[in-house]
Amino acid sequence: MSSTVFDSFLFRDLFGTHEMRAVFSDESYVDTVVRVEVALARAEARTGVIPREAADAIARTGDPARLDRERLRRDTGNVGYPILPIITQLAEHCGDAGGYLHWGATTQDIMDTATMLQVAEGLTLIDAALDRLRDHLRTLAQEHAGTVTAGRTHLQHALPITFGYRVAVWLSALDRHADRLASVRERNLMVQFGGAAGTLASLGEDGLRVRAALAAELGLRDPGITWHVTRDGFTEIVALLAAIGASVGKIGLDIAAMSSTETGELAEPFVPGRGASSTMPQKRNPISSELMIAAANLLRDKVSAMLGAMLQDFERATGPWHVEWAVLPEAFLLLSSSLAQAGDTIAGLQVDAGRMRANLDLTGGLISAEAVMMALAPALGHRQAHELVYAACARVRESGADLAAELCRNPDVTALLGADQVRRLCDPGGYLGSSAEMVRSVTGRY
């Protein structure tokens, strides 16, 4: 029986992916904990802390498949943590070598390191999904670098842009996030090994050598000091996941708005039955975009929870650590879903360039008002040119006429520009600024 959208057989594929669920599953976690315990034994044998024979026996018999899951569940509920129950069963399988399991470690050492290994695997999946989405966006931006559409500010027509420019703006944020991902991995994927209070006192002079060997064994960074109660690393990772989710949510918001009946410039890929209504046969709702927006909103709350969990007392916290157990997997699941939905949407996005052009003409050329104003400004000054064109725009709104025709009725305008130039200035395709160069700059970056 499931109780949340993350494990619901109905909703789980809308709020996560199969691959990410596998990374953060119970099976994966138990396997990873055993992997850390075996790696610790090997590291300590390599540094001469425990006998080589003991480490070999632990590695040979440390098979997570042999662990009694029901017993683990019951004992974890009693102890409050899964590590002691896992060690107890592993030790039973290891014989005399079991006495060297978990040597010098504390529960949080193993749990943090196991979680860090899961996070590393999760970030690899995020990185791949992000790259896939960026590739699709790059192709879309290049294909529509010359597709003129309405730039909108405050939900109103502002200036003409190209659809490729809008897509390149989306892409630019994700490119920066890709850089941040690389930096976050380098800075925060650290081993945790400090013993009871973080000082490695039980290992004496061997403590730091064991920690370095354990880090090398697991492919994690060896930190300068124990980070039991400094949780900035996990918090930064979740904050980045949320930031990526927000950028993807912005894409979903734009696509949903451009897919509205009145706008009709975009449509998500057609799949029979997708986005259908139970009562309205004509409906084709932007389901993927809605999920991208929902994930962004949910991810924001994960950051808030992680920031709260950073307030940890002294050398071991009384409660905040437990918040991470819920937040980290859910954050990764949410972003994995968002990126998957976005990747599929952008790969098959239906773009109606004709409707974009028709929408440009809805206001009778008012979207080109700034172009005319700037052409008049050298002769009239910016303020007077603005007032002249502003008045013409007001008359166009009242009459439903065309801006070019209205301006050509004004002898002051035609004396300065001429009717042909006024009509050219009112062509949206002639006032795109540096958009083409910016699209090339972004799409050519990678």
Residue 147, token pair as written in the block: 């597709």
Residue with tokens 């700059």: 441
* Secondary structure class of 62 (helix, strand, coil): coil
Angle at which helices 69-79 and 83-94 cross, to 10°:
130
28 catalytic per annotation: no
Residue 135, token pair as written in the block: 């590739």
Residue with tokens 């992680």: 306
The DSSP code for 196 is T
154 catalytic per annotation: yes
β-sheet bridge partners, residue 149? 161
List the one residue out of 114, 132, 240 whose CA is nearest residue 182. Answer: 240
Q: What is the C-alpha separation between 194 and 200, in angstroms, rounded?
A: 5
β-sheet bridge partners, residue 221? 190
Q: What is the C-alpha separation between 203 and 38, in angstroms, rounded?
A: 18
Catalytic option among 2, 183, 260, 277: 277
In terms of C-beta density within 10 A (0-12 exposed, 13-18 middle, 19 or more buried), how is residue 282 classed?
exposed
List the one residue out of 96, 30, 85 whose CA is nearest residue 58. Answer: 96
List the one residue out of 270, 429, 250 whose CA is nearest residue 356. Answer: 429
Residue 73, token pair as written in the block: 């569940």
Quote the longest CA-to-CA distance of the chain.
102
The DSSP code for 109 is H
Distances (CA, A) of 333 to 148, 220, 291, 339, 366: 37, 23, 12, 10, 45
Q: Where are the alpha helices (DSSP H) in 83-162?
A: 83-94, 107-143
Are 193 and 217 in contact by the 8 Å Cβ rule? The answer is no
Catalytic option among 3, 154, 278, 434: 154
Residue 224, token pair as written in the block: 């300068």
Q: What is the C-alpha separation between 3 and 8, in angstroms, rounded?
A: 7
Residue 99, token pair as written in the block: 């006495």
List the one residue out of 157, 141, 233 whose CA is nearest residue 192. Answer: 233
Q: Which residues are catalytic?
A: 154, 277
